[in-house]
Amino acid sequence: MSIQSFLDNLIFLNLLIVTVISWASLIFSSLKNLTKIGFYGTACANVLAFLLLGLRWLNFGYFPLSNLYESLIFLVWGITFVTLIVEDNSNVAIVGSISTPIALFVTGFASLSLPESMQAPSPLVPALKSNWLMLHVTVMMLSYASLIVGSLLSIFFLVLAKNQTSNLAVQGNSYGDMFAKPAYTDTFFYESDSSVLAPNATGEYQTGYPEKEKTSENRLGLLESIDNLSYRTISFGFPLLTMGIIAGAVWANEAWGSYWSWDPKETWALITWLVFASYLHARITKSWQGEKPAMIASVGFVVITGAETSAAFSNRLPTFFAIFFLR
């Protein structure tokens, strides 16, 4: 077994275990160590993906983003990286439970579904030997990782909000603290001190609030936090997406003499940009919070998924340099 195959299998197994642990931590919220294990497992997968790409760079002497396999592994690295940053700063344990299955699916597709001929490195054609391409692909990968995580948080927000028994009215604004934790936190989704939330001998929570009031406050606080966290994550990814598209246009002009040719990859990239631009416009200028912008972000996730899927299976690029943000 080659080192690449070994690392592929290790990343996949690691993410599979982390996914199971993350979901178990939601079911068995009293086992707080599961959340920490899931976090460190995600960090391990991130390091392994970085190691795999680094070894390919050292062994073959080119930036490891020249084909579909390397691009997907880099996307896995980006998703796990963004997940770690968000979880570490916000203490929202649900983030890994949502994003890790996506990273697992991408890893499985890259390492198990793609034939060896598509995974093997190949000499770069002259058009791919460009610093603009390196900048473009790196920035676009990080942007899509951020947008995917932010969109997944919006989808989870909609699922959680649908279960509200009363009308949902998310308060606050789009300019608050990205990683602020609400005063009342539900141990089902947050890493919290159990002594604060555990009921005492009289059946009341030690915060002094009745259980019914606590549950309502916790749910609304959780929704506000997820809504704001999704907004901040998407706000981080959107400027990167803009920079990546511009860098890709410069590279295209350098390689083919045209900044924009309206091929499927460029068209999908533009649609993705417009969807998330609409999301941010609604949040900033119209002060939308809650379900409406979350629906727009959910559409963005569908657009990203559809664009990558159609590009990955495109027959127009025989080298399978077909993931749409590689131009």
Q: pLDDT (tens digit, 9 = 90+) per residue, 79-91?
A: 999 999 988 887 6
d(CA 145, CA 148): 5
In the CATH hierarchy, which fold is given to the domain comprising 1-123?
A: Four Helix Bundle (Hemerythrin (Met), subunit A) (1.20.120)
Distance between CA atoms of residues 141 and 324, nearest Å: 11
Q: Where are the domains of the chain?
A: 1-123, 125-194+207-327
> How many angstroms separate the CA atoms of 176 and 190, rounded?
19
| Tokens standing for residue 185 | 């936190």
Let me know if 190 is exposed, middle or buried by CB neighbors in 10 A (0-12, 13-18, 19+). buried
Residue 206 has phi, psi (to 5 degrees) of: -70, -10
pLDDT at 212 over 80: no
**Backbone φ and ψ of 304, nearest 5°:** -60, -45
pTM passes above 0.85: no
Q: What is the pLDDT of residues 186-196, one digit of tens each?
A: 434 444 443 33
Going by pLDDT thresholds of 50, 70 and 90, the confidence category of residue 63 is confident
Alpha carbons within 13 A on the beta-carbon side of 211: 6
